[in-house]
């Protein structure tokens, strides 16, 4: 009972903040007199969002962006896992490779995008490469950390019970490393998603990011706001899917 | 002798989720400590002795009853009237020993020069002045707890509340610090309530031992330890000490097989 | 004599071979050499991928270009201001959230959701409101870094043990002393991690905003150089920024070790 009241209070506090934001939004765009070009009124935004959801063009943009993200994630996760796996076979290899990968992880790769555009053109390839590049290092680093964290007592016990080296790799070390490897998958996915959408905003001819940038450039502010909300929903759904997929094994 | 603290019909009840009946941790406790008196509280584990101490110090609000220190009611934590020494020393590792001793004075708004001087005095009393500028992790557990005692004494409170303060120390160190406390508290005429689960400690330090029962927490017995303070280790070997200790042990009435909580 | 010298040389070689640092350096040098070779031999067009030696030369060239020097100054200013704003707001909101369970339960989940979203989609709002100049970069940088700082500060304050809270209550700590003497020192590891992540995030955000739409700054220069097919200069900018980040990172680590020394001592 007390717990339910507490939950209710939390819900009320959250609602209060949301209402305050919406209220402020309504006020500045209404009586506040801020131009609808600067801040889109909530009503217009919702109307645009409604039209967006029912327009077939939107869903082709969703398909474009979605497939780019999936491709980027697949490349980042598989290549990151392979490099991370190979780089963590011995303690010495880890000592050599982990700092290198960590170094790569600190480089702000966002500034590479104009170059990728130049190299790979304005279509999907540059977005996929950009997303994969940004996700790769997180995946490789987490794979290494995962294998590094495997308890050596576990490995020794397995040897003592006569496990073959192959069994040790796949039946002992991999499952033990899995939680950190999976968190690498989540981070890599989040990074690939962020960078693909950003890449579309900077240079492309289709996709949700492109539409957002275009509406901003042409000062269709309410449509621009509608795209922001639409992308937030799109990302929210993707997060739920990833969360489900990467936590089933625990 | 006047009373330092008067506790009148103090009760504390807890309610727990999914349990309709409240738990009676303390049931109408009457208790008083005279000026300069050292009273120890002992009882089986879970009897609410720590709850009693925390309530008297204002950290827990009582369900009913009252606490008066020096004639005025205590309604919340007030370090100038009642100061704690906790079981975990809880020294701040980023401050050196003088700064730790001066912590309560700093909170009270006393300027740096005078609070440092007062803290140094307390460290001298504890014979720790040469360690004043070391950090807690550089000194032993026994020294850390002496610093925590000095931190309480620096407040010059009417009552010191000690919650199993030496529980984490080994027996040797514990008796040594006990003798030290006996000396200083007598010298400074301090009043204290001291919770412990060690019978030896309870009898050795106390002018009076209070025995608590488990759920509901009630006072079962009070025993006067009529031996002048400060005491030395010789007291441990006297007939009187052994008699009081055996009496208390019998009174604790711990069922066989569950004695580890009562004696260490 | 001769045999002894050989043994010494061999011993030194074995030691070198067994050193991870030597391996790492060798790998880096080989990568650079391979890059240099494929670019010089024309396996890839040097206009698209100039060799490392050309990029090193380009670094000296961009420092002669007053526009590029000004760009670093602009980006530095944007980064500094956005970081300071994010840090102040992050502490002002993170500490209460860390101390109060109700506030945390109510408002941390939405903050964590925003932390995980692509913040670039909010760029249009900032650009439309604050214009194409430095203001929008500062606001967007602060916005992006804020979530990282709050998350880490809340985590750091969460490390405050119950016994220290009780100590503060028992000794009557006024709010100001409670924060300065107990809460903040306890939370220092989290605050430090938050500041570092926040700084990195602010830099990434400022660069992102400059790449998207700007009239000055490093991201703007990257666009200019790339449009002029001066890939060498683009990569030179990338190299300088990366180097600065790496240097800042090691400085931050050292500072953190210094400030947390008592903690390290306590754990050994």
Q: From the candidates A17, A114, A214, which should be mutated to test the interface with C, based on the most C CB atoms within 10 A?
A: A114
For C122-181, write each residue's pLDDT tens digit. Answer: 999 999 899 899 999 999 999 999 999 999 999 999 888 888 999 999 998 999 999 999
How many contacts (CB atoms, under 8 Å) link B and C?
57
Note whether A219 contacts C: Cβ–Cβ < 8 A.
yes
Confidence of residue C264 (pLDDT cuts 50, 70, 90): very low
> Is B178 part of the contact surface with chain C (CB cutoff 8 Å)?
no
Chains that touch C (3 or more CB pairs under 8 A): A, B
Within an 8 Å CB–CB cutoff, is residue C185 touching chain B? Answer: yes
pLDDT band, very low/low/confident/very high, at C1 (cuts 50, 70, 90): very low
What average pLDDT does the structure give for chain C? Answer: 87
Please give the residue of chain B at the shortest CA–CA distance from C174: B107
Does one domain contain both C150 and C19?
Answer: no
- Per-residue three-class SS string for chain B: CCEEEEEEEEEEEEEECCEEEEEEEEEEEEEEEECCCEEEEECCCCCCHHHHHHHHCCCCCCCEEEEEECCEECCCCCCCCEEEECCCCCCCCCCCHHHHHCHHHHHCCCCHHHHHHHHHHHHHHCCCHHHCCCCHHHCCHHHHHHHHHHHHHCCCCCEEEEECCCCCCCHHHHHHHHHHHHHHHHHHCCCEEEECCCHHHHHHHCCEEEEECCCCECEEEEEECCCCCCCCHHHHHCHHHHHHHHHHHHHHCCCCCCCCCCCC
Q: Is B183 left (phi over 0), alpha (psi -120 to 50) or beta?
A: alpha
- Cβ pair B103:C171 closer than 8 A: yes
Residues C114 and C232 in one domain: yes
Radius of gyration of chain A (CA): 23
Tell me, what CATH number does A181's domain have? Answer: 1.10.3720.10
User: For residue A164, is it within any domain?
Assistant: yes
pLDDT of B256 strictly over 50: no
Is residue B20 located within the same domain as residue B73?
A: yes
**Does residue B262 form part of some domain?**
no
Best mutation target, C162, C170, C175, C189, to test chain B (most B CBs within 10 A): C170
Could you tell me the residue range of the domain that residue B116 belongs to?
A: 91-156
Nearest to B107 among C166, C172, C263 (CB): C172
A/C interface, count of CB pairs below 8 Å: 127
Q: Do C231 and A115 touch (CB under 8 A)?
A: yes
Are residues C93 and C38 both part of a single domain?
no
Coil, strand or helix at A84: helix
Between CA A97 and CA A75 the distance in angstroms is 20
The arithmetic mean of pLDDT across residues C45-67, rounded, is 89
| Smallest CA–CA distance from C120 into chain A, residue | A198
SS3 C268: coil
Phi, psi of A38 (to 5 degrees): -85, -50
Enclosing domain of residue A167: 47-246
pLDDT confidence of B260, banded at 50, 70, 90? Answer: very low
Chain A contact present for C129, CB below 8 A = yes
Cβ within 8 Å, pair C128-A114: no
Domain CATH for B246? 3.40.50.300
Q: Which residues on C lie below 8 Å from B94 (Cβ)?
A: 185, 262
Same domain, A145 and A110: yes
Residue B209 lies in a domain: yes
* Domain end position, chosen among B115, B137, B156: B156
Q: Do C166 and B108 touch (CB under 8 A)?
A: no
Of the candidates A110, A114, A215, the beta carbon closest to that of C208 is on: A110
Answer yes or no: do C256 and C124 share one domain: yes
Tell me, yes or no, whether B230 lies in a domain: yes
Number of domains forming the structure of chain C: 2
Indicate whether A19 and A53 sit together in one domain.
Answer: no
pLDDT value at position A64?
A: 94
Place C5 in a pLDDT band, splitting at 50, 70 and 90: low
pLDDT digits (tens, 9 = 90+) for A149-178: 888 888 888 888 888 888 888 888 888 888
Residue C63 pLDDT > 80:
yes
Q: What pLDDT was estimated at residue B248?
A: 85
Least confident of B33-42, B249-258, C20-29, C91-100: B249-258
Helix (H) or strand (E) holding C41, with range, is none
C78 or B220, greater pLDDT: C78
Read off the pLDDT band of C19 (50, 70, 90).
confident
Of C170, C172, C182, the CB nearest to B92: C182
* Whether the predicted pLDDT of C8 surpasses 90: no
Residues C252 and C140 in one domain: yes
Q: Write out pLDDT tens, residues B80-115.
A: 888 999 888 889 988 999 999 999 999 998 899 999
Question: In which domain, by residue range, is C74 found?
Answer: 56-266
CA–CA min distance C97, chain A (Å):
13
| Burial status of residue C127 (CB atoms within 10 A of its CB: 0-12, 13-18, 19 or more) | buried
- The ipTM is 0.85
Distances (CA, A) of B127 to B93, B160, C170: 21, 20, 25
If asked whether residues B246 and B167 sit together in one domain, one would say yes
Same domain, B163 and B239: yes
Return the bridge partners of B14, or none.
B23
List of chain C residues whose C-beta atoms are within 8 Å of the C-beta of residue A120: none
Highest mean pLDDT among A111-125, B72-86, C87-101 belongs to: C87-101
**In chain B, what residues touch C163 (CB-CB under 8 Å)?**
86, 88, 90
In this structure, the answer to whether residues C157 and C102 fall within a common structural domain is yes
Interface of C with A in 159-218 (CB under 8 A): 200, 203-204, 207-208, 211-212, 218
Assess whether C31 and C139 both reside in one domain. no
The pLDDT of residue A243 is 78
Residue A40 within any structural domain of the chain: no
A28 and A88 housed in the same domain? no
What is the band of C261 on the pLDDT scale with cuts at 50, 70, 90? low
Query: Is residue C150 one of the residues assigned to a domain?
Result: yes
Determine whether the interchain pair B90/C173 forms a contact, defined as Cβ–Cβ distance below 8 Å.
no
The residue of chain C nearest to residue A93, with distances taken between CA atoms, is C20
- The number of domains in chain B is 2
Pick left, alpha or beta for residue C172 (phi over 0 → left; psi -120 to 50 → alpha; otherwise beta): left
Is B217 part of a structural domain of the chain?
yes
Which residues of chain B make contact with C180, given a CB cutoff of 8 A? none
- On whether both B174 and B213 belong to a single domain, the answer is yes
Q: Which two tokens stand for residue B197?
A: 């689960």
B47-70 pLDDT, tens digit per residue, is 788 888 999 888 988 888 888 888
Q: Which of A10, A39, A103 sits opposite C105 (nearest CB)?
A: A10
Please state the domain count of chain A.
Answer: 2
Least confident of A221-235, B233-247, C10-24: C10-24
Instruction: Tell whether A91 and A149 lie within a shared domain.
Output: yes
B262 pLDDT tier (thresholds 50, 70, 90): very low
Q: In chain A, what residues touch C122 (CB-CB under 8 Å)?
A: 228
DSSP letter string, A169-195? IIIIIHHHHHHHHHHHHHHHHHHHHHH
C183 membership: H or E segment, kind and range:
none
Q: Which is higher by pLDDT, B159 or B262?
A: B159
pLDDT (tens digit per residue) in C173-228: 999 999 999 999 889 888 988 999 899 899 999 999 999 888 899 999 998 998 88
C166 touches chain B (CB under 8 A): yes
Nearest C-alpha of chain B: how many angstroms from C85? 28
Across the interface, which of B90, B103, B137 has its CB nearest the CB of C266?
Answer: B137
Same domain as B70, residue B169: yes
Find which of A12, A108, A223, A231 to mutate to test the C interface (most C CBs within 10 Å of its CB): A108
For residue B102, give the chain C residue with the closest CA: C171
B9: tokens are 């019909």
Average pLDDT across chain B, whole number? 84
**Residues A85 and A194 reside in one and the same domain:** yes
Residue B259 lies in a domain: no
Positions of chain A with pLDDT lower than 70, given as ranges:
1, 247-250
pLDDT exceeds cutoff 60 at B239: yes
What pLDDT score does B150 carry?
92
B151 and B171 in one domain?
no
Q: For B159-204, what is each residue's pLDDT tens digit?
A: 999 998 888 788 888 888 888 888 888 888 889 999 988 888 888 8
Q: What is the band of B1 on the pLDDT scale with cuts at 50, 70, 90?
A: low
């Amino acid at each position: 009972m007390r717990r339910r009241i507490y939950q209710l209070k939390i819900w009320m506090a959250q609602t209060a903040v949301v209402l305050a934001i919406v209220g402020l939004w309504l006020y500045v765009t209404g009586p506040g007199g801020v131009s609808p070009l600067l801040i889109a009124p909530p009503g217009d935004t919702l109307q645009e969002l409604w039209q967006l959801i029912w327009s077939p063009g939107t869903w082709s943009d969703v398909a474009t962006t979605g497939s780019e993200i999936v491709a980027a994630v697949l490349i980042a996760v598989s290549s990151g896992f392979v490099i991370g796996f190979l780089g963590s076979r011995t303690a010495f290899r880890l000592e050599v490779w982990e700092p290198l990968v960590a170094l790569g992880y600190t480089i702000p790769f966002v500034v590479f995008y104009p170059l990728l555009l130049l190299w790979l053109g304005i279509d999907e390839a540059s977005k996929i490469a950009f997303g994969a590049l940004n996700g790769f290092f997180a995946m490789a680093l987490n794979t290494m950390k995962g294998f590094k964290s495997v308890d050596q007592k576990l490995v020794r016990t397995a040897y003592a019970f006569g496990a073959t080296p192959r069994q040790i790799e796949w039946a002992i070390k991999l499952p033990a490393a899995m939680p950190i490897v999976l968190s690498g998958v989540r981070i890599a996915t989040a990074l690939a998603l962020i960078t693909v959408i950003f890449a579309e905003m900077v240079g492309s001819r289709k996709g949700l990011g492109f539409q957002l940038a275009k509406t901003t450039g042409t000062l269709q502010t309410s449509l621009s706001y509608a795209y922001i909300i639409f992308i937030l929903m799109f990302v929210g759904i993707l997060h739920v899917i990833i969360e489900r997929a990467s936590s089933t094994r625990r | 002798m006047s009373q330092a603290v008067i506790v009148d019909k103090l009760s504390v009840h807890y309610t727990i989720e999914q349990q309709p009946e409240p738990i009676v941790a303390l049931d109408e406790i009457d208790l008083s400590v005279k000026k300069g008196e050292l009273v120890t509280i002992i009882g089986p584990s879970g009897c609410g002795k720590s709850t009693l101490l925390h309530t008297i110090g204002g950290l827990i609000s009582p369900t009913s009853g009252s606490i008066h220190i020096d004639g005025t009611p205590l309604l919340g934590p007030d370090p100038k009237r009642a100061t704690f020494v906790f079981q975990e020393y809880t020294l701040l590792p980023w401050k050196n020993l003088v700064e730790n001793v001066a912590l309560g004075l700093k909170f009270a708004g006393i300027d740096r020069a005078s609070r440092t001087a007062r803290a140094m005095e307390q460290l001298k009393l504890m014979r720790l002045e040469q360690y004043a500028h070391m950090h807690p992790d550089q000194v032993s557990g026994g020294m850390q707890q002496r610093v925590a005692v000095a931190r309480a004494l620096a407040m010059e409170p009417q009552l010191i509340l000690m919650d199993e303060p030496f529980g984490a120390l080994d027996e040797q160190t514990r008796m040594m610090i006990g003798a030290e406390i006996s000396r200083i508290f007598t010298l400074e005429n301090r009043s204290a309530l001291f919770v412990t689960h060690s019978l030896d400690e309870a009898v050795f330090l106390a002018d009076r031992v209070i025995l608590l029962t488990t759920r509901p927490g009630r006072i079962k017995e009070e025993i006067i330890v009529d031996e002048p303070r400060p005491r030395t280790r010789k007291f441990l070997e006297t007939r009187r000490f052994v008699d009081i200790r055996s009496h208390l042990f019998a009174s604790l009435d711990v069922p066989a097989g569950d004695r580890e909580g009562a004696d260490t | 004599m001769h045999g002894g010298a050989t043994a010494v040389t061999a011993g030194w070689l074995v030691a070198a071979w067994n050193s991870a640092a030597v391996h790492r350096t060798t790998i880096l040098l080989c990568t650079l050499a391979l890059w240099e070779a494929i670019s010089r031999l024309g396996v890839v067009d040097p206009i698209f991928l100039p060799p490392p030696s050309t990029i090193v030369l380009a670094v000296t060239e961009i420092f002669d270009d007053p526009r590029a020097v000004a760009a670093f100054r602009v980006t530095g200013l944007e980064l500094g201001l956005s970081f300071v704003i994010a840090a102040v707001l992050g502490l002002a909101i993170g500490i209460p959230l860390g101390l109060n369970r109700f506030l945390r339960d109510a408002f941390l989940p939405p903050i964590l959701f925003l932390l995980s979203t692509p913040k670039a989609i909010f760029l249009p709002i900032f650009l439309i409101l604050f214009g194409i100049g430095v203001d929008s970069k500062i606001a967007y940088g602060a916005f992006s870094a804020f979530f990282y700082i709050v998350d880490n500060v809340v985590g750091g304050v969460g490390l405050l043990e119950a016994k220290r809270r009780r100590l503060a209550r028992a000794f009557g700590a006024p709010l100001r002393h409670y924060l300065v003497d107990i809460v903040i020192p306890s939370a220092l590891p989290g605050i430090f991690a938050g500041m570092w992540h926040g700084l990195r995030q602010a830099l990434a955000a400022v660069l992102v905003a400059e790449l998207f739409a700007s009239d000055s700054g490093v991201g703007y220069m990257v666009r200019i150089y790339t449009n002029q097919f001066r890939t060498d200069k683009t990569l030179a900018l990338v190299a300088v920024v990366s180097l600065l980040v790496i240097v800042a990172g090691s400085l931050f680590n050292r500072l953190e070790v210094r400030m947390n020394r008592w903690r390290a001592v306590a754990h050994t």
